[in-house]
């Protein structure tokens, strides 16, 4: 039997539940820790970034309006599918981060567990950050969390899978939609995660994944008027990019989560969930007044 040629994988963007090539038609070479060629990844343009924001905004209404229980079930289904493609992710993480297969397996298992952890928080976070407030008057005063909106996420550069999930899962678990800029150096795990999301129950547009030059994609996202918040986890602080993006984000008063040292192997708190939540406060008269109440 003659030797057959291997079929090389074509990686594409993930926008609005579909897999387009970059609008620019450009790609860039992705290599492993030993400079060996792995694949060509799409080099996203500003137009790709704008298209991803449009898709995220379109998906926001239905996703934020879904019950917390339903979002949890959908996220748990994603974890099931990640588990089913474990071997693929072990290979990609090993190549991306220069790890042995055994160490990469530990990272992938921790990533699946992290996704399950956040799936379990969808119907619990409101009890932690919301509740009844004591007021001086005949009123019920209740605070409840609501999602911020469209969140741009610069994924961590070095932790290409565990770090990625650690910043993405809390954003969508709380009802936001996301535009993710994958690790510039190691984008393949993020692009493969997109394939899992596309075949899960997650509605198209809830997560959109772009690859390419982080600074090139992040600049239009930071300044975009329809992006409500931005997580700068993957921004380089040494070259001033994080500061530039933070300044651009002030134009429409985006919420900004600054880059900070994080050990993604540690059990996360709830900070990344609460970072992209707004608090709605409702007043309602007590007794038999029969008023419908008001909110602000």
Q: Cα(180)–Cα(56) distance, rounded to whole angstroms?
A: 11
- What tokens appear for 259 in the block? 């880059």
Query: Is the distance from CB of 16 to CB of 208 less than 8 angstroms?
Result: yes
Q: Is 244 exposed, middle or buried (0-12, 13-18, 19+ CB in 10 A)?
A: middle
- What tokens appear for 123 in the block? 């119907």
Query: Is the distance from CB of 78 to CB of 197 less than 8 angstroms?
Result: yes
pLDDT reported for residue 131: 72
Local structure of residue 228 (DSSP, 8 states): -
Provide the residue-wise pLDDT of the chain in tens; the chain has 296 residues.
Answer: 567 778 888 999 999 999 999 999 999 999 998 899 999 999 999 999 999 999 999 999 999 999 999 999 999 999 999 999 999 999 999 999 999 999 999 999 999 999 999 999 999 998 898 777 788 888 888 888 899 999 999 999 999 999 999 999 999 999 999 999 999 999 999 999 999 999 999 999 999 999 999 999 999 999 999 999 999 999 987 789 999 999 999 999 999 999 999 999 998 989 999 999 998 888 888 875 444 555 44
- What tokens appear for 255 in the block? 């919420």
In the chain, the domains with their CATH numbers are 37-295 (3.40.605.10)
- Predicted TM-score (pTM) of the model is 0.91
CA distances to 68, 106, 132, 221 from 127, in Å: 12, 32, 10, 32
pLDDT reported for residue 141: 81
Q: Residue 39 forms beta bridges with which residues?
A: 30
List of E strands, 115-182: 131-132, 139-147, 150-154, 177-181
pLDDT reported for residue 140: 84
Run of H or E residues at 189? helix 188-198
């Amino acid at each position: 039997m003659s030797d057959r040629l291997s079929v090389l994988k074509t990686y594409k963007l993930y926008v609005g539940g579909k897999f387009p090539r970059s609008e620019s038609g450009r790609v860039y070479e992705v290599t492993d820790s030993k400079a060996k060629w792995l694949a060509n990844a799409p080099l996203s343009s500003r137009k790709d970034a704008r298209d991803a924001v449009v898709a995220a905004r379109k998906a926001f209404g239905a996703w934020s309006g879904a019950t917390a229980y339903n979002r949890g079930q959908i996220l748990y289904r994603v974890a099931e599918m990640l588990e089913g493609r474990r071997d693929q992710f072990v290979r990609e993480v090993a190549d991306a981060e220069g790890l042995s297969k055994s160490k990469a397996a530990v990272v992938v298992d921790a990533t699946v567990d992290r996704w399950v952890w956040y799936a379990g928080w969808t119907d619990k976070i409101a009890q932690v950050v919301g509740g009844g407030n004591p007021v001086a008057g005949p009123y019920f005063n209740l605070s409840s969390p609501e999602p911020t909106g469209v969140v741009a996420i610069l994924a961590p550069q070095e932790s290409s899978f565990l770090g990625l999930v650690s910043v993405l899962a809390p954003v969508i678990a709380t009802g936001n939609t996301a535009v993710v800029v994958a690790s510039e150096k190691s984008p393949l795990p993020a692009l493969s995660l997109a394939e899992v999301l596309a075949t899960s129950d997650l509605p198209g547009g809830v997560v959109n994944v772009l690859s390419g030059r982080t600074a090139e994609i992040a600049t239009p996202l930071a300044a975009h008027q329809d992006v409500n918040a931005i997580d700068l986890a993957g921004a380089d602080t040494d070259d001033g990019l994080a500061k530039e993006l933070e300044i651009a984000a002030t134009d429409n008063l985006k919420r900004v989560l600054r880059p900070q040292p994080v050990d993604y192997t540690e059990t996360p708190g709830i900070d990344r969930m609460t970072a992209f939540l707004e608090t709605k406060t409702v007043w309602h008269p007590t007794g038999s007044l029969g008023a419908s109440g008001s909110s602000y």
